Amino acid sequence: MLLKSVVILCFSVTLMSCSSEDTSEVETTKPSIVLNTYTQSDFELELLDLINQDRVSKGLSALTILSQISYVASTHDDYMISKGVISHDNFEERAESLEAGLGAVTASENVASGFNTPSGVLAAWNASPAHRANLEGNHTHFGLAVKADATGKKYYTLLFIRK
């Protein structure tokens, strides 16, 4: 029982999800995050492939990787590493940048830290109702960045959009 409580506590501490629906207001400002391109590592590509396999196995469509989304995710990894904690701080800024720069109608985000394998973080996200909802959401594109801090602890930011 103690082990189960510790596992639940770890999941609640190391996983977070967030989503944003389009509002009727029209934003006329430029995106606050430049949408540069990003080159995925083999580790990141493996996790993106696992996510698509998981979606297809549930009867959902596979998502298309956009390097600009991964770039935005990488900026959030840098932020989390600088703070030493996972968070959804400034999610609205990321969502607005994806809306303005890529024409996203909706944006959602999963973050995590401390997992060492793509299958491990995916299993944890699937074990959480909020994260699973984002994984199974009505999205068309996604991007991911995984970065390690100085101690080797990995930080994950997974962004989804629907165009």
The pTM for the full model equals 0.82
Q: Give me the domains of the chain, ranges plus CATH numbers.
A: 42-162 (3.40.33.10)
DSSP string, 28-95: -SPPSS-----PPPHHHHHHHHHHHHHHHHTTPPPPEE-HHHHHHHHHHHHHHHHHTS---TTHHHHH
Residue 57 has pLDDT above 80, yes or no: yes
Contact 67, 40 (CB under 8 A): yes
The rounded mean pLDDT for the chain is 86
What is the distance between the alpha carbons of residues 59 and 55, in angstroms, rounded to a whole number?
Answer: 7
Residue 161 has pLDDT above 60, yes or no: yes
20 vs 65, higher pLDDT: 65
Q: Which two tokens stand for residue 9?
A: 């506590």
Quote the radius of gyration of the chain (alpha carbons, Å). 15
What is the distance between the alpha carbons of residues 98 and 75, in angstroms, rounded to a whole number?
Answer: 13
Q: What is the pLDDT of residue 163?
A: 95
Percent of the chain with pLDDT over 90: 78
Give the distance, in angstroms, between the CA of residue 136 and the centroid of all CA atoms in the same chain. Answer: 13
Q: Backbone phi, then psi, for 70, in 5-degree steps?
A: -65, -35
